[in-house]
Amino acid sequence: MRSPFSSLSLTLLSVVAISLIISGAYANEEFSKEKFFQDRLNRIPFPTGPTDDPPPGPIIPVAEWEPSTGVLIAYPLWIPMHLVRELAEDIEVMTVVKDERWMEQALEDYVLAGVDTSNCTFLFSGPGFVWPHTRDYGPWYIFNGNDELGIIDHGYWGFDHIPRLVGDTLGIPVYGTGMTTEGGNYMTDGFERVIQEEWILVENPGMTVAQIDQIFEDYLGITSNIITEMVGAHIDTWAKFLDPGRIIVIQTDPPNPTREAMVELMQSLMSAYGRPYEILRIQGSGYSNTLFLNNKILVPHFNSPNDSLALVTFQEAMPGYEVHGFYYETFSSGDALHCRTHEMADQGMLRIVHIPIHDLENDGSDYYLEADIHPYSNEALIAPPVIMWKTEGGSYSPIAMTFTGDDNYYGEIPQQPDGTDIYYYLEAEDGSGRVENHPFIGAGNPHHFHVGPDNEAPVVEFDPLASVQASAWPLPFKAYALDNRWISEVAAEYSINGLPQTDVDMELIEPFAVYYRGTPTGNIQPGDVIEVRVKAVDTSINQNTTYSDYYTITIEGTADNGSGQIATGLHPNPFNPSTVISFELQVSSLVNLAVYDVSGRKVEELVNGWRDAGMHEVTFDGSKLSSGIYLYKLDLNQQQITGKMLLLK
């Protein structure tokens, strides 16, 4: 056996030294990846369009927590050897190496460390340095319309051939998009949603947001692509889906204002579970850079007092999973365990799709639920899937589900007395021997709902403009409404000069779960006064109702009274990709109108100069910006007006 300090190992030590330089330089900075990628941006080829036809539809993106049969890493290692040993306990560890000589060295190191090499395979990348971030250049997995696992390949600095090597090795079709991006900036819920940072716009300057959205829809089946403001270049440096209804986000002291604004945005969005996202927080930087691999949660450690708290946070958020921590000297807040590993989806996955039951009232019926269950192994289910359910403190009992066609099954949990807490999970088995649950971990972390009266009324927030220009009418009413269960109706009740008008039905604004909008009717003139309030009614038997306060809106015109006062409007809001800021001057004025992000950085100056008295409209184009909250500030004649705008893509 050769000495670990052989010439080849010395090369490895040199690689580690390079890693220390890169990671150490940014170890305490949240923007490490952004800076690193910006440094080499001029070496990234700009996309020229898709290189392969899209996969046949319908297309389903695969989430990280879904069943995996392997993990992709790179050698020389930028992860601890005991992590490799942990990975190889259960699944295939595919290691990217330069050539056969490096494979032999890797095998020798693995054997010395007690790694189960029977679960180890190797992928030869060819000449050149092997980049350790398999997350960034590794394959993105989908299921296509031919019932087969597919790989989506994107442009990456020098390593975009790796997904094709994986596909060729495993017999998986590969679809190249021609778009440049990294896996660290890709977070999907396994339905049709993705959240990523605006770094993707920086990397693809030749593409519009609409073109990027179209690629995500054509190749990944994504219909909701939320692009956030830049926090750390990659979304995995600060946020992570726990499941389709929950997102965990790091929390630092002092807080990052941009990140906190993005948390506010996420909390307002509709999840695949038909509820607003539940946001959990984890103390300290870097801990979102965690890998989910079947029944294990593998958390980076940084030799920090927050390490143990991070484990507890994941244990409490994800009961039933094995939670392990791993320290490595080159891990940093912007580049850790998740960046340097990539799960490999199960080609024969037994996939269960289910929207969980939420808290409800008894209405004399049993509790109906359904699921789509598909065996990608093409081996039929060996028996009907079952609902495993229990009440608080009880034992699980099975209820067989009924097949209705097209992979759909339904079942009913028997009605229980008010005040009962019910826990359940779904279980299915196919002829390949796969047994899967929903949620994935089954009894360890079941779905839960409470049965009983709903006496909690909705929350309503409504704060309209105090004045509106007659030329801007009708200006939509917008309100926030949230209920502990769900909303059945939101409406605006209003009058013009004391005369009641027909209520305005307010509709949920996609993709939000809490923002509603409706447009009033009726003729108005300058000087008219509108009284308006918003009501929200929930879905309870009692139809709990909440009313906002009444607000007065004055309709203004263009009369010149010499006061120099101004009135403003914004429409639409939320907007995508553009909105119109209107303002009326009663006298000629020196005007400055600019837009800022939530950190106070000026995004664009729209007006800077003299404007005549009268009505003015300025269009703000956010097509090159990410989703988020922006502020406009209008300054003139020692007056200042600010307003909040919400860009949602």
DSSP 375-387: ETTSPPBSS--EE
613 sits in which H/E element:
none
The predicted structure's pLDDT at residue 38: 59
Query: Whole-angstrom Cα distance, residue 203 to residue 479?
Result: 36
Residue 29, SS3 per DSSP: coil
Query: Is 446 in the same domain as 475?
Result: no
Query: Is 292 in the same domain as 387?
Result: no
Among candidate residues 324, 345, 366, the one where a domain is terminated: 345
Phi and psi at 595, nearest 5°, equal: -115, 140
- The answer to whether position 499 is within a domain reads yes
Query: Whole-angstrom Cα distance, residue 172 to residue 315?
Result: 35
CATH at 486: 2.60.40.10
- Specify the residue for token string 């409404």: 481
Query: Whole-angstrom Cα distance, residue 290 to residue 248?
Result: 11
**Which of 209, 264, 187, 278 lies closest to 646 in space, CA to CA?**
264
- The answer to whether position 2 is within a domain reads no
As a residue count, the chain comes to 649
467-469/551-556 β-pairing: parallel
Query: Whole-angstrom Cα distance, residue 165 to residue 95?
Result: 12
Query: Whole-angstrom Cα distance, residue 120 to residue 380?
Result: 30
The predicted structure's pLDDT at residue 32: 47
Query: Is 121 in the same domain as 234?
Result: yes
- Read off the tokens for 449: 């709902």
- Read off the tokens for 437: 């649950």
With beta carbons less than 8 A apart as the criterion, state whether 426 and 354 touch: yes
**Which of 333, 336, 360 lies closest to 421 in space, CA to CA?**
360
Query: Whole-angstrom Cα distance, residue 77 to residue 85?
Result: 12
Domain that holds residue 119: 10-345
Q: Which of left, alpha, beta for 642 (phi over 0: left; psi -120 to 50: alpha)?
A: beta
Query: Whole-angstrom Cα distance, residue 572 to residue 450?
Result: 39
- The answer to whether position 407 is within a domain reads yes
Query: Is 484 in the same domain as 621?
Result: no
DSSP state, residue 456: P
Q: What residues contact residue 569 under an 8 Å CB cut-off, 6+ apart? A: 465, 468, 469, 472, 475, 581, 582, 583
Query: Is 47 in the same domain as 196?
Result: yes
- The answer to whether position 5 is within a domain reads no
Query: Is 408 in the same domain as 338?
Result: no
With beta carbons less than 8 A apart as the criterion, state whether 325 and 335 touch: no
Query: Whole-angstrom Cα distance, residue 196 to residue 211?
Result: 15
The predicted structure's pLDDT at residue 34: 52
Number of helices and strands in the chain (H, E): 10, 44
Query: Is 278 in the same domain as 374?
Result: no
Residue 439, SS3 per DSSP: coil
Query: Is 364 in the same domain as 409?
Result: yes
- The answer to whether position 510 is within a domain reads yes
Q: What residues contact residue 267 under an 8 Å CB cut-off, 6+ apart? A: 276, 277, 279
47-72 pLDDT tens trace? 555 689 999 999 999 999 999 999 99
Query: Whole-angstrom Cα distance, residue 553 to residue 358?
Result: 39
CATH at 156: 3.75.10.10
Which residues face 468 on adjacent strands? 555
With beta carbons less than 8 A apart as the criterion, state whether 294 and 439 touch: no
- The answer to whether position 4 is within a domain reads no
Q: Which of left, alpha, beta for 402 (phi over 0: left; psi -120 to 50: alpha)?
A: beta
Query: Is 278 in the same domain as 410?
Result: no
CATH at 605: 2.60.40.2550
The predicted structure's pLDDT at residue 635: 83
Query: Is 220 in the same domain as 367?
Result: no
Q: Distances in Å between the alpha carbon of 211 and those of 200, 220, 269?
A: 12, 14, 23
Report, as ranges of residue numbers, the positions in the chain whose pLDDT lies below 50: 1-32, 558-565
- Read off the tokens for 282: 């984890």
386-391/420-429 β-pairing: antiparallel
Query: Is 311 in the same domain as 359?
Result: no
Helices marked H in 269-390 — which ranges? 306-317
- Read off the tokens for 215: 């690629």
With beta carbons less than 8 A apart as the criterion, state whether 373 and 381 touch: yes
Among candidate residues 320, 345, 370, the one where a domain is terminated: 345
Report the predicted TM-score, pTM, of the whole model to 2 decimal places: 0.83
Q: What residues contact residue 241 under an 8 Å CB cut-off, 6+ apart? A: 63, 64, 65, 187, 188, 189, 195, 247
The predicted structure's pLDDT at residue 123: 98
The predicted structure's pLDDT at residue 147: 96
- Specify the residue for token string 């989506």: 152
With beta carbons less than 8 A apart as the criterion, state whether 607 and 591 touch: yes
- The answer to whether position 597 is within a domain reads yes
- The answer to whether position 191 is within a domain reads yes
308 sits in which H/E element:
helix 306-317
- Specify the residue for token string 């460390």: 113
The predicted structure's pLDDT at residue 202: 84
DSSP secondary structure letters along 201-234: HHH-TTS-HHHHHHHHHHHH--SEEEEEPPSSSS
Task: Give the number of domains in the chain.
Answer: 4
Query: Is 334 in the same domain as 370?
Result: no
Among candidate residues 345, 362, 387, the one where a domain is terminated: 345
